[in-house]
Amino acid sequence: MTPTGEQLCYTDAYARTAEARVAAVEAGEAALVVLDRTVFYPGGGGQPSDRGLLLRTEDGRTWTVRAARKAGGEIVHELEPGDGDPPGVGDALTVDLDWARRLALMRTHTALHALCGVVWRDYGALVTGGNMEPGSGRMDFEFERMSGDLVDAIEATVNTELAAARDVRVAVLPREEAFAIPDLIRTKVNLLPEGIEEIRTIEIVGLDLQADGGTHVSNTSEVGGIRVTGYESKGRINKRIRMELVDPA
């Protein structure tokens, strides 16, 4: 399904504001608003949705957006209860992200891809899942022989790779083309539903290539350093590594 609203987060991760009009509103305990364009990321792939504000052009009234999500292909903005009546269909608004939070998520997400890339390249371990908050995250791997010494080595290597100022590129590939890239198979691109015709990829040039819907910084130098804050066993084979940004702000 082609959404009616323009979804800028997928093409320009650095767009933090947009001028928009309200396309649909659903009243409720938390009102739901669809816009004709938005900079909000709706969440997914371990990256939480954005937060921010809607500012009505006509009278300067504002609403807090506490979360966003995808529904029927559209990005739906969930308003904070208690901000009064929602805006009306057709209202002109400025959409304004909580940019400090989004940028921290972009840096964290890119750091996690660098971690995946190093663990795959140096140890051949597959990633099975992950999650993040602004400034910290975790990844799970099929990594039977992980140990404290290995984790120290991984942290050092990830920091070397981030400091190498590698470009981060976004591409949208036809499904067939994406399936022909051997590296993508490890991120389980083959589990994507039949109906998906195009696959978005994130490449840390020279290190990592994944099918991914999230937002990323454009160069690893923007991440700074990372620190591994813990690791644990989730079974004989499955291991979890926790990390945080050295400079989260």
Separation between Cα atoms, residue 232 and residue 126, nearest integer Å: 16
One of 110, 212, 239, 245 touching Zn ion (CB under 5 A): 212
Touching Zn ion, residues 126-155 (CB under 5 A): none
Tell me how many degrees the CA angle 32-38-39 measures, rounded to the nearest 5: 120
Q: Give the contacts of 30 (CB within 8 A, at least 6 positions apart).
A: 66, 78, 79, 80, 81
Give the shortest CB-8-to-Zn ion separation in angstroms.
18
Q: Contact at 8 Å (CB) between 31 and 24?
A: no
CB atoms within 10 A of CB 17: 15
Give the residue nearest to Zn ion (CB). Answer: 212
Selected range binding Zn ion among 63-71, 135-143, 164-172, 209-217, rule: CB under 5 A: 209-217
Query: Of the two residues 43 and 45, which places its CB atom closer to Zn ion in the complex?
Result: 45
- Residue 26 region, left (φ>0) first, then alpha (ψ -120 to 50), else beta? beta
Give the shortest CB-188-to-Zn ion separation in angstroms.
12
Query: Of the two residues 132 and 151, which places its CB atom closer to Zn ion in the complex?
Result: 132
Selected range binding Zn ion among 87-95, 205-213, 228-236, 237-245, rule: CB under 5 A: 205-213
Give the shortest CB-202-to-Zn ion separation in angstroms.
6
Task: Return the axis-axis angle of helices 148-163 and 99-123, rounded to nearest 10°.
Answer: 120
Site for Zn ion contains 161 (CB under 5 A) = no
Give the shortest CB-182-to-Zn ion separation in angstroms.
18
Give the shortest CB-212-to-Zn ion separation in angstroms.
4
Query: Of the two residues 28 and 129, which places its CB atom closer to Zn ion in the complex?
Result: 129
Q: Contact at 8 Å (CB) between 178 and 184?
A: yes
Query: Of the two residues 74 and 212, which places its CB atom closer to Zn ion in the complex?
Result: 212
Separation between Cα atoms, residue 229 and residue 173, nearest integer Å: 35
Give the shortest CB-113-to-Zn ion separation in angstroms.
6
# residues near Zn ion by CB under 5 A? 3
Touching Zn ion, residues 25-64 (CB under 5 A): 45
Query: Of the two residues 117 and 214, which places its CB atom closer to Zn ion in the complex?
Result: 214
Give the shortest CB-68-to-Zn ion separation in angstroms.
17
The two structure tokens encoding residue 137: 């995250």
Query: Of the two residues 203 and 212, which places its CB atom closer to Zn ion in the complex?
Result: 212
Query: Of the two residues 41 and 143, which places its CB atom closer to Zn ion in the complex?
Result: 41
Please tell me the chain's helix, strand, coil percentages from 3-state DSSP, rounded to the nearest 5: 25, 40, 35
Spell out the alpha helix ranges (H) of 124-244.
148-163, 175-179, 182-185
Please give the C-alpha separations between residue 97 and each of 54, 55, 115, 159, in angstroms, as whole numbers.
Answer: 9, 11, 27, 29
Give the residues lining the site for Zn ion (CB under 5 A): 45, 212, 214
